[in-house]
Structure 1
Amino acid sequence: MKKYAYIGSLGLIAVITTEFGIIGILPQVAEHYKISIDKAGYLLSAFALVIALTGPFMTLLTSGIDRKKIMIASIFMFLITGIVSSFSPPFWLLMIVRILPAFLQPVYIATALSVAVSQADENKKNELMSIVFNGVTIAMVTTVPFATWISGLFSWEYSFMIQTVVSLIALVVIQLMLPSIPVKEKKSYGSQLTILRKPLFILSTLTNFFMITAWFSTYSYFADYLSKAKGMNTSMISYMLLLFGVIGILANWIAGKMLNKNVAGTTAFFLSGTILIPILFYVSDGNLWATIIVIGIWGFLYSPSFLNASTYMISSAPHALEFANSLATSFGNLGVTLGTTLGGWIIVTQGAQYIPWIGFVFGLLAFSMMIVRSLIEKRTRELSTC
């Protein structure tokens, strides 16, 4: 049902506003706590690392619980995080409350996707998944840039207040509009874990990991990169986030349609941005309008990355959707952690202008994994016809 997909999307807006809303205010947070930008980046990378390490286990542990209860518990944790963070607590406490909802983030995403496609025809599932994942791009076009803009007008704490309001709205909607969805048949842990032995799934996982590492080495420092390398102020950066998100909504819709026809081709098309964007940023140099055009292209090619990564992984394990999705979320967030860590290190040691080239390297690695998977699939088809 599309209704369930839209409810899942709303919750994902709350999740993404909390996880990535920090990106636009990292320089202000670093200044407030008198720490370096790479240390402030821990607020994003630590969140992502917890997801990476615990996501699959949490999804397996909660696989027998009513889907509505899981979604409510997850969003409630994000609500608490926003409330506490808005009071600018000591940095150690801010780090703790940032980490806590990370334990349930992959559980929410996997649950929302499984609920969205639970009653759908096979040829409609990717489209419904794209509706849920549109929560990511909608957050990028509305709440994330709005929170950044508000923080520029007042202070960074207001960004967390926006996150709190979004989480509260999502919590109320899920409670009122989503029916109780008990699990009728819980799959055994063993049946789900078998996908870990499939070479195609392992290659798809590595593709996901390298792809997200490539994108987030730069995207995690969106504000810092545009400020230091392109000379933009906070207000201009919030407009760039808005542009990024508006184009991203269109990109997600197009990707959903394309994935229904060709999963590997669609993934490769959008992955090409990891190679293209560093070159375009280098060519644009200090030209403002050229930079704005590159940011638009960046938003288009980046925005469906989580949708593409999840769909690409699920295509190699269609019978374990939730577990495969939790692994996609976990390895994606492991990519966020590595990308954020490498990006912060490059900024401190070399300069912000060099971080897009990290994406170039990891983009090539992601493409190499796709090529190997394609060759194995081709070989398997040839053997099956013999």
Structure 2
Amino acid sequence: MKKSLFPLLLGGLGIGTTEFVMMGLLPDIAANLHTSIPTAGHLISAYALGVVVGAPLLVISSSNQPPKKVLIGLMMIFTVFNMISAFAPTHFTLLLARFFSGLPHGAFFGVGAVVASRLADKGKQAQAISMMFAGLTIANLATVPLGAWVGHHLLWRYTFGIVGVIGLVTLLFLWLWMPQLPVERTGNARSELRLFKSAEAWLVILITAIGTGGLFAWISYIAPLMTEVSGFEAGSVSWILILAGFGMVVGNIIGGKLADKFSPVIACAWLLVAMAVTLLSIFLFSGNQIISLILTFIAGALSIALASPIQILMINTSKGAEMLGAATTQAAFNIGNAMGAFFGGLPIVAGYGYNSPSLVGMVMALFGVVFAFVLIRRGERKVAVDQLA
């Protein structure tokens, strides 16, 4: 790995930690701030809302600045508001801090994806982007379980302090190792916003929000799935999550190689098909503990394998607005997170088992395959028209 990519990996580690550790901290935060767990759950929603708002807003407002300066500015916002989270005296203060700490999330990954592709050797752009997303996989494998343990056995505020320290270290390495890349903006805010008039861009957004939302339908309810359906003890769930995190590490490497070897949209289509098959298998076979663990590893791998192909696909689709496109993809991932959790919960409310969300996820993944197929067909027709012209 080039050392210039290391600050992007560190940034992904910090962002992944603060996003996913909240699931394990909710009971401790609720007890400490004297509120209910459902109310504390609004902290997750506030962060996701910050991602959706901040991704396009911060990218458009900073497009005239050098990428290194933008990345440092985004990480400063991230670090400051995670430190504020550590000292937040009330639930409302923490809610605001979570919203503002989510603002740079999508923009950092959006700008970082474009920077990584510019720093990459020819033909290895997706693998370079996967190095940034490796930070997310390491977070799920190591710092998220560690942060949850610290929050439960010591104090949840220390966890946000740890995230703040990761932010500070990221800032240091951005300053030391990130090269001064020139601004490559070819338009202005108005011309970049034309991205949202592109049918191809919307298809990528739909693939991301609905297709990958299928996996969030599964992982949002993985704890009761493992305890109530697979029959594991509650204390085993954290180790099962580490297994899923290890799958993410492997899947991130595979996704980067697939996107460089094949067309990104073809890679997305096949990975979504694999996701649908895996989620159906989870619905059918989660009663067997060994099979359940194998499927957890596979689903974890698929959950992050899509990240690099989708980012490359959006960058290729949004010529002249690459950073906005890549950041919008991150917003779409978070929309998929919310949609998957919501739709996956509906059959549970209706009285079906905890394996039923994976069936909902399978349907969402298949919709993603349909959108990918439409995108492929549009590309083929465009090539045919160009050849006739």
Coarse TM-score class (shorter-chain normalised): 0.7 to 0.9
Pairing 1:34-49 to 2, within 5 Å after superposition: 34-37=35-38, 39-49=39-49
1:218 and 1:30 map into 2 onto residues whose CA distance is 25
1:15 and 1:243 map into 2 onto residues whose CA distance is 20
In the other structure, the counterpart of 1:370 is 372
- 1:97-136 superposed Cα distances (whole Å, 9 cap, x missing partner): 1110222212211222222233445422222111112121
2:46 and 2:295 map into 1 onto residues whose CA distance is 29
AA aligned to 1:275 is: A
In the other structure, the counterpart of 1:295 is 296
- 1:303-340 superposed Cα distances (whole Å, 9 cap, x missing partner): 22322322222232344321210111122222222223
The offset of 1:223, in angstroms, is 4.0
In the other structure, the counterpart of 2:109 is 109
Alpha-carbon distance change, 344 to 50 in structure 1, aligned in 2, over 3 angstroms = farther
AA aligned to 1:272 is: V
Confirm or deny: 8 A CA contact 2:9 2:135 kept in the other structure.
yes
Alpha-carbon distance change, 51 to 126 in structure 1, aligned in 2, over 3 angstroms = same
Alpha-carbon distance change, 197 to 203 in structure 1, aligned in 2, over 3 angstroms = same
In the other structure, the counterpart of 1:126 is 126
- 1:192-214 superposed Cα distances (whole Å, 9 cap, x missing partner): 23333322222122111112322
TM-score, normalised to structure 2's length? 0.87
In the other structure, the counterpart of 2:56 is 56
Pairing 1:270–2:242 present: no
2:228 and 2:41 map into 1 onto residues whose CA distance is 16
Give the SS at the match of 1:60: helix
Give the SS at the match of 1:123: coil
Gaps of 5+ in 2: none
- 1:249-290 superposed Cα distances (whole Å, 9 cap, x missing partner): 221112111101221222122222442233222333343322
The offset of 1:18, in angstroms, is 0.8
Identity fraction in percent: 26
Alpha-carbon distance change, 66 to 187 in structure 1, aligned in 2, over 3 angstroms = same
In the other structure, the counterpart of 1:360 is 362
Confirm or deny: 8 A CA contact 1:306 1:332 kept in the other structure.
no
RMSD, matched Cα:
2.8
Confirm or deny: 8 A CA contact 1:41 1:340 kept in the other structure.
no
1:203 and 1:149 map into 2 onto residues whose CA distance is 40
Confirm or deny: 8 A CA contact 2:231 2:289 kept in the other structure.
no
Give the SS at the match of 1:63: coil
AA aligned to 1:383 is: V
1:213 and 1:272 map into 2 onto residues whose CA distance is 14
Alpha-carbon distance change, 120 to 309 in structure 1, aligned in 2, over 3 angstroms = closer
1:199 and 1:323 map into 2 onto residues whose CA distance is 16
AA aligned to 2:295 is: V
AA aligned to 2:294 is: I
Alpha-carbon distance change, 368 to 184 in structure 1, aligned in 2, over 3 angstroms = closer
Pairing 1:205–2:183 present: no
Give the SS at the match of 1:252: helix
Alpha-carbon distance change, 76 to 190 in structure 1, aligned in 2, over 3 angstroms = closer
AA aligned to 1:357 is: L
1:276 and 1:89 map into 2 onto residues whose CA distance is 46
1:275 and 1:119 map into 2 onto residues whose CA distance is 34
2:132 and 2:367 map into 1 onto residues whose CA distance is 28
The offset of 1:22, in angstroms, is 1.3
1:125 and 1:260 map into 2 onto residues whose CA distance is 7
Confirm or deny: 8 A CA contact 2:81 2:101 kept in the other structure.
yes
1:221 and 1:83 map into 2 onto residues whose CA distance is 29
1:45 and 1:276 map into 2 onto residues whose CA distance is 29
The offset of 1:36, in angstroms, is 4.7
Give the SS at the match of 1:187: coil
TM-score, normalised to structure 1's length? 0.88
Confirm or deny: 8 A CA contact 2:255 2:307 kept in the other structure.
no
2:250 and 2:176 map into 1 onto residues whose CA distance is 29
Alpha-carbon distance change, 224 to 15 in structure 1, aligned in 2, over 3 angstroms = farther
2:160 and 2:168 map into 1 onto residues whose CA distance is 12
In the other structure, the counterpart of 2:309 is 308
In the other structure, the counterpart of 2:214 is 214
Give the SS at the match of 2:21: helix
Q: How many residues in Structure 1 have an aligned counterpart in Structure 2?
A: 385
In the other structure, the counterpart of 2:99 is 99
The offset of 1:293, in angstroms, is 1.2
Say which is worse superposed, 204-213 or 156-165, in terms of deviation.
156-165
2:281 and 2:300 map into 1 onto residues whose CA distance is 13
Alpha-carbon distance change, 150 to 69 in structure 1, aligned in 2, over 3 angstroms = same
In the other structure, the counterpart of 2:318 is 317
1:201 and 1:278 map into 2 onto residues whose CA distance is 27
1:31 and 1:277 map into 2 onto residues whose CA distance is 37
In the other structure, the counterpart of 1:160 is 160
The offset of 1:300, in angstroms, is 1.3
Pairing 1:239–2:278 present: no
In the other structure, the counterpart of 1:279 is 280
2:225 and 2:30 map into 1 onto residues whose CA distance is 15
User: Which protein has greater RCO, CA pairs closer than 8 Å, 6+ apart?
Assistant: 1
The offset of 1:234, in angstroms, is 5.8
1:132 and 1:285 map into 2 onto residues whose CA distance is 32
In the other structure, the counterpart of 2:256 is 256
The offset of 1:344, in angstroms, is 5.1
Confirm or deny: 8 A CA contact 2:14 2:163 kept in the other structure.
yes
Say which is worse superposed, 179-188 or 367-376, in terms of deviation.
179-188
